Amino acid sequence: MPQSELLQLLASVQAARGGASQSAHSSSHGDVDCSIEPTQIEGVFLVSTTDFFYPLVDDPHTQGRIACANVVSDLYALGLAHCDTVLMLLAASTEMEPAVRRRATELVMLGFNDAAADAGTRVTGGQTVLNPWPIIGGVASVVCRERDFIRPIHARPGDVLVLTKPLGTQLAVNAAEWHRKKILAKKAPSFVRRYAAPAALPADAAEPLDDDRHVSPAATAAVAALLGRAVDGMTRLNRHGALAMHRHGAHAATDVTGFGIRGHARNLALAQTADVSLRIDRLVLYKDTPLLATEAVGFKLLAGYSAETSGGLLVCLPPDTADAFIADMCANSGPAWRVGEVVACASREARDAFFADNVEVLEV
Amino acid sequence: MPQSELLQLLASVQAARGGASQSAHSSSHGDVDCSIEPTQIEGVFLVSTTDFFYPLVDDPHTQGRIACANVVSDLYALGLAHCDTVLMLLAASTEMEPAVRRRATELVMLGFNDAAADAGTRVTGGQTVLNPWPIIGGVASVVCRERDFIRPIHARPGDVLVLTKPLGTQLAVNAAEWHRKKILAKKAPSFVRRYAAPAALPADAAEPLDDDRHVSPAATAAVAALLGRAVDGMTRLNRHGALAMHRHGAHAATDVTGFGIRGHARNLALAQTADVSLRIDRLVLYKDTPLLATEAVGFKLLAGYSAETSGGLLVCLPPDTADAFIADMCANSGPAWRVGEVVACASREARDAFFADNVEVLEV
């Protein structure tokens, strides 16, 4: 559901109940990505999170892995590298033949279980229903003490923002879908032109390409390569990020998912104890997504609002440890990049996530 | 999803992983309705459960209450009267006008929150998506010590089975739907005949009624009254049952939901330490559901397999405390009934839930 519609709903429910608002609770406790609740046992907290969505990729096993990586990521954003248990949320499609449905659901479950094993945890329950659209998701929970997690509330002006996965998964997934449906040339003519053999181009290069006649083998390969990079990112666990956050004294973090980097950066700014904003100096994008983003309608990647699935961690680090954090990630998980800075702002109301003038676009 | 299809899927996934089977884990630890996991903290357990489904009643606020009562019930079945936190799982329908959708979703959320407050807990997160069919459900979790819960594994031959809500919610909900769609007379002619004014009956009383011309005001009122009883049951929390289980030394319990009383009773038998079966002597049903069940196709209420939503607890109690448990429930929550007995059986393979000869049907 769109963030604006959801926020309106939550506000209505809070207003009707007249109680302390969820957002006030969130900002003081750091419930940005997870619910963090004290329990009846002194000093012991329950941290839990849920997320579910619709299939993004054709391969069910990969889809299961992505869904599990996505849900445990919310714990990792709190520096929690351990997960006690995962519950699986599934809907099998009423529109599939029963035999196909059974095999697809089985593979989704296997992929989900495999990613849970990689995360050092176990699927101990869940719920499966029939639904027109297939659904895959989960619930991740851990019981811990205050010292085990890093509440995302301690960012300070001067902190360096580090991102641990490139952006652009939604466009990558959509490019593959457009290619499959043979509408790639219409949706992203520049992308096709870049990869088309010159002889295949129409006489007037400005003329819109209205079908896939001009999609060269090179363009087909480029779409597959882009999807491959995005799947590699989406299936990678952010687990090492949680460990590195502790090692290098991270002040706060979030993971980039449905609201895009700017949506989540803004939520993170609002959650801080200090009045701060987050300035984004650099957009690190999967190679070829900027070209797709300039033409595809409805994708706000270059504005920082394109949804990610199982995106990277956005971490606020002291300036003197940011490079060590990046080196640690490179050595043990994957590349990470400086993407901005925490800056002071005048008031709570002024907090925001904004782009620097001449924000750099880095394609990887 | 049908229990058989689900069990096949789980078995395939377990076989493919070659690990300890979930069912072996379940039977030794009592993970019948909830996941019960040890945590990294000595002696501390995380008990969690999830459930979600599609709307059953027209009123969104009531639907929200039912969904919350249903999910926390899994904790109550373990004798856990406290819930640390609830997450809400929602899908708003793509087939509703946006304004209607917004209002309906808001009311569902309010109802869910209200039931959570009645349960002494709080909704601290969740996920909301758009989907063709609306979905409502949740995740309930509590962090506790071994002494706080009653693992459902200690039933002994001679224990009395007590049920804390009547059965028949699915038929009650469907009767209301048939009445709304004007197919009640076709689906349940005997029910209509019972409540029809004699003059309204066709000359040949054996002739099937093929429309709603013969649905008298009395039948309309009877359908409404039945739905009212079922809604009263579905919105009632099983919380007091959890307290009474501790007070009266319950040996094991489950809550009756999607697999019907016999499906859940069988699961409970399989989870016990001892080789036992559960004999059901009495079916306690919402008034008028037996009549509907005899004619409506596909409802297995009289065989004990009709799905319940937010059903009652089925509790195994020592014979000398069963009446005190029932009296406690009557005084503090609602009526409860003796419905059967735990009996010895020869082997693990022989465990089952079965009906006594001449099982009594009690309409309430």
Which positions in chain B touch A110 (Cβ < 8 Å)?
Answer: 13, 16-17
Rounded-to-integer distance, Cα B242 and Cα B221, Å: 35
Rounded-to-integer distance, Cα B239 and Cα B71, Å: 12
| pLDDT averaged over every residue in chain B | 91
Rounded-to-integer distance, Cα B250 and Cα B325, Å: 9
- The residue behind tokens 């519609």 is A5
pLDDT-derived band at A21 (thresholds 50, 70, 90) equals very low
Q: What is the mean pLDDT of residues B103-128?
A: 95
- pLDDT tens-digit profile of A234-286? 999 999 999 999 999 999 999 999 999 999 999 999 999 999 999 999 999 99
| Beta-carbon separation of B17 and A110 below 8 A | yes
Classify B208 in phi/psi space as left (phi over 0), alpha (psi -120 to 50) or beta. beta
Name the percent of chain B lying above pLDDT 90.
77
Is a pLDDT exceeding 90 seen at residue A298? no
Which positions in chain A touch B125 (Cβ < 8 Å)?
Answer: 31, 34-35, 48-50
Rounded-to-integer distance, Cα A21 and Cα A13, Å: 9
Structure tokens, A33: 């990505």
Is a pLDDT exceeding 70 seen at residue B360? yes
* Among A31, A48, A257, the residue to mutate for chain B (most B Cβ within 10 A): A48
| pLDDT averaged over every residue in chain A | 91
Whole-Å CA distances, A152 to A33, A124, A272, A276, A317: 9, 28, 7, 13, 11
Give me the phi and psi of A357, to 5 degrees please: -60, 140
Out of A6, A46, A106, name the one closest to residue B84 (CB): A46
Which positions in chain A touch B131 (Cβ < 8 Å)?
Answer: 131-133, 135
State the helix-helix crossing angle for B22-29 and B260-271, rounded to 10 degrees: 80
Which positions in chain B touch A127 (Cβ < 8 Å)?
Answer: 50-52, 137
| Beta-carbon separation of A1 and B130 below 8 A | yes
Nearest residue to B152 via CA among B76, B205, B211, B99: B76
Please report the pLDDT score of residue B85 as a whole number. Answer: 97
Please report the pLDDT score of residue A204 as a whole number. Answer: 60
pLDDT-derived band at B209 (thresholds 50, 70, 90) equals low
Rounded-to-integer distance, Cα A215 and Cα A218, Å: 8
Cβ within 8 Å of B, A 99-138? 102, 105-106, 109-110, 113, 124-133, 135, 137
pLDDT-derived band at B195 (thresholds 50, 70, 90) equals confident
Q: Taking the CB of residue A349, how many other CB atoms lie within 10 A of it?
A: 8
Out of B49, B87, B142, name the one closest to residue A35 (CB): B87
Non-local (6+) Cβ contacts of A121 within 8 A are: A72, A82, A83, A84, A85, A86, A140
pLDDT-derived band at A22 (thresholds 50, 70, 90) equals very low
pLDDT-derived band at A16 (thresholds 50, 70, 90) equals confident
Is a pLDDT exceeding 70 seen at residue B27? no
| Beta-carbon separation of A110 and B13 below 8 A | yes
Rounded-to-integer distance, Cα B334 and Cα A59, Å: 50
Which positions in chain B touch A126 (Cβ < 8 Å)?
Answer: 50
* Among A7, A10, A35, A108, the residue to mutate for chain B (most B Cβ within 10 A): A35
Please report the pLDDT score of residue A24 as a whole number. Answer: 46
The 3-state DSSP class for residue B345 equals coil
CA dihedral A93, A99, A103, A104 (to 10 degrees): -30
Is a pLDDT exceeding 90 seen at residue B294? no
For chain B, report the end-to-end CA distance as a whole number of angstroms. Answer: 30
Question: Which of the two residues, B264 and B195, has the higher pLDDT score?
Answer: B264
Which positions in chain B touch A35 (Cβ < 8 Å)?
Answer: 85, 87, 124-125
- The residue behind tokens 């803004």 is A266
Please report the pLDDT score of residue B202 as a whole number. Answer: 62
* Among B46, B97, B123, the residue to mutate for chain A (most A Cβ within 10 A): B46
Structure tokens, B278: 């559960």
* Among B8, B32, B129, B144, the residue to mutate for chain A (most A Cβ within 10 A): B129
- pLDDT tens-digit profile of A145-204? 999 999 999 999 999 999 999 999 999 999 999 999 888 888 888 888 888 765 566 666
Handedness of CA A77, A78, A79, A81 (dihedral sign): negative
Give me the phi and psi of B327, to 5 degrees please: -65, -40
Rounded-to-integer distance, Cα B159 and Cα B142, Å: 28
Closest residue in B to A138 (Cα–Cα): B50
CB pairs under 8 A between A and B: 161
Rounded-to-integer distance, Cα B310 and Cα B234, Å: 5
Out of A37, A50, A82, name the one closest to residue B84 (CB): A37
Is a pLDDT exceeding 70 seen at residue A211? no
B276-285 and B353-363 strand pairing: parallel
Nearest residue to A63 via CA among A72, A52, A74, A76: A52
Rounded-to-integer distance, Cα A138 and Cα A82, Å: 16
pLDDT-derived band at A29 (thresholds 50, 70, 90) equals confident
Strand order in the sheet with A35-38: A35-38, A44-53, A135-145, A85-93, A123-131
Beta bridge partners of B285: B167, B363
* Among A17, A42, A70, A127, the residue to mutate for chain B (most B Cβ within 10 A): A127
Please report the pLDDT score of residue B2 as a whole number. Answer: 73
Burial of residue B11, with CB atoms counted within 10 A of its CB: 0-12 exposed, 13-18 middle, 19 or more buried: middle
Out of B8, B44, B102, name the one closest to residue A41 (CB): B44
Nearest residue to B30 via CA among B47, B18, B17, B42: B47
Q: What is the mean pLDDT of residues A76-85?
A: 98
Is a pLDDT exceeding 80 seen at residue A17? no
Rounded-to-integer distance, Cα A198 and Cα A88, Å: 49
Q: How close B210 gets to chain A, by Cα (Å)? A: 30
Is a pLDDT exceeding 70 seen at residue B162? yes
Which positions in chain B touch A8 (Cβ < 8 Å)?
Answer: 102
Q: What is the mean pLDDT of residues A58-68?
A: 97
Which positions in chain A touch B110 (Cβ < 8 Å)?
Answer: 13, 16-17
Please report the pLDDT score of residue B320 as a whole number. Answer: 98
Structure tokens, B174: 């469907």
**Residue pair A335/A182 in contact by the 8 Å Cβ criterion:** no
Beta bridge partners of A313: A255
